[in-house]
Amino acid sequence: MKTRTMTVAAALFALSAPALTAGGADDDNLTINGNIEMTTKAEPAAHLDGALPEVISGWHFRSDETQELEMDDFDNPGMIFVDQAREAWNTAEGSEGKSCADCHNEPESMAGVRTVYPKWNEEAGEVRTIQMQMNDCRENRMGAEPWKYDASAAINMEALISSVSRGMPMDVATDGPAQETWEQGKEIYYTRYGKLELACASCHELNYGNYIRADHLSQGHTNGFPTYRLKNAKLNGQHSRFKGCVRDTRAETFSPGSPEFVALELYVASRGNGLSVEGPSVRN
């Protein structure tokens, strides 16, 4: 019990560390392949109500070595999985014998899609993520089995769809029929969970730029997902990252693809409106 108490105290102390012990966002510029200029700092959207003075990509909180990996597709290990998804894009599956290419032609036809997801689907009467929409296509157009949420095949395809939108600004809608889900996501974002009693905002709004252990806290924007993490040497999805964060508060967590994480994805995506799509990005 004493050890657990000390661990909790240490974590809370780290989150309350003064800014003078931390390193804030750097002033470097991100250009990919020498020609895709990225907006990595932007004015906050009105719906943030002054919560952030500026929205800043997580790229600015990484080391120079990690940043450089994202600046060239030959160095970016996440692009290996994008290439795998290009093969899958052209592969016929399911009872209908169709591939993604049969309906959408080249993957480049998806340019701009990543910028507006998650979004309201009128026919389904719900907010959908990219992975939810992909599985709808697989089941109802291809007659194929749906992918498990955040499984490698799904993450690879989401990375491909993201890659063709790199440089375009995130522009997720928060009003209209999506507003109720957005409000739910906002509530989750500010709710303290677990034995550590931490919310998403505890790290990514109140303490970005500070360090918790060896992790340089960013603002937690999702414009870079799917993200190749050096920590586990694979592409990571947003919901898997959410799950890990909630778990780290010593709480029971939600599942990838759950309504709670769909709502949280919508809200967190909207916090990064104005930042360029970076996926697949590279992070620690």
| Residue 60 labelled as part of a binding site | no
Burial 83-104 (b: 16+ CB within 10 A, else e): ebbbeebeeeeeeeebbbeeee
* pLDDT of 215: 85
| Residue 203 labelled as part of a binding site | yes
| Residue 200 labelled as part of a binding site | yes
> Average model confidence (pLDDT) for the chain?
92
Q: Which domains does the chain have, with CATH numbers?
A: 36-282 (1.10.760.10)
pLDDT of residue 21 exceeding 60, the answer is no
| Residue 104 labelled as part of a binding site | yes
* pLDDT of 237: 98
Percent of the chain clearing pLDDT 90 (strictly above): 89
Q: Are 263 and 185 in contact (CB under 8 A)?
A: yes
pLDDT of residue 208 exceeding 60, the answer is yes
State the Cα–Cα distance between residues 79 and 56, nearest whole angstrom.
Answer: 23
Residues whose CB is less than 8 angstroms from the CB of residue 35 and which lie 6 or more positions away in sequence, other chains included: none
Tracing tokens 């414009």 back to the chain, one arrives at 223
Tokens of 259: 């309504």
Tokens of 22: 């931390």
| Residue 62 labelled as part of a binding site | no
Tell me if residue 96 falls in helix, strand or coil. coil
* pLDDT of 13: 44
pLDDT of residue 19 exceeding 50, the answer is no
Ranking 59-68, 72-81, 211-220 by mean pLDDT, the lowest is 211-220
| Residue 100 labelled as part of a binding site | yes
**Catalytic status, residue 245:** yes
| Residue 86 labelled as part of a binding site | no
State the Cα–Cα distance between residues 82 and 89, nearest whole angstrom.
Answer: 10
Beta bridge partner(s), residue 169: 276
| Neighbour tally for 119: CB within 10 Å | 21
Residues whose CB is less than 8 angstroms from the CB of residue 167 and which lie 6 or more positions away in sequence, other chains included: 32, 36, 37, 38, 39, 276, 277
In which band, very low, low, confident or very high, does the pLDDT at 263 lie, cut at 50, 70 and 90? very high
Catalytic one of 170, 245, 263, 268: 245
Of 248, 226, 252, give the one whose Cα is nearest residue 239: 226
- Beta strands in the chain, from DSSP E residues, in sequence order: 31-32, 36-37, 41-42, 55-56, 119-121, 126-128, 211-212, 215-216, 227-229, 234-236, 281-283
State the Cα–Cα distance between residues 282 and 204, nearest whole angstrom.
Answer: 18
* pLDDT of 212: 85
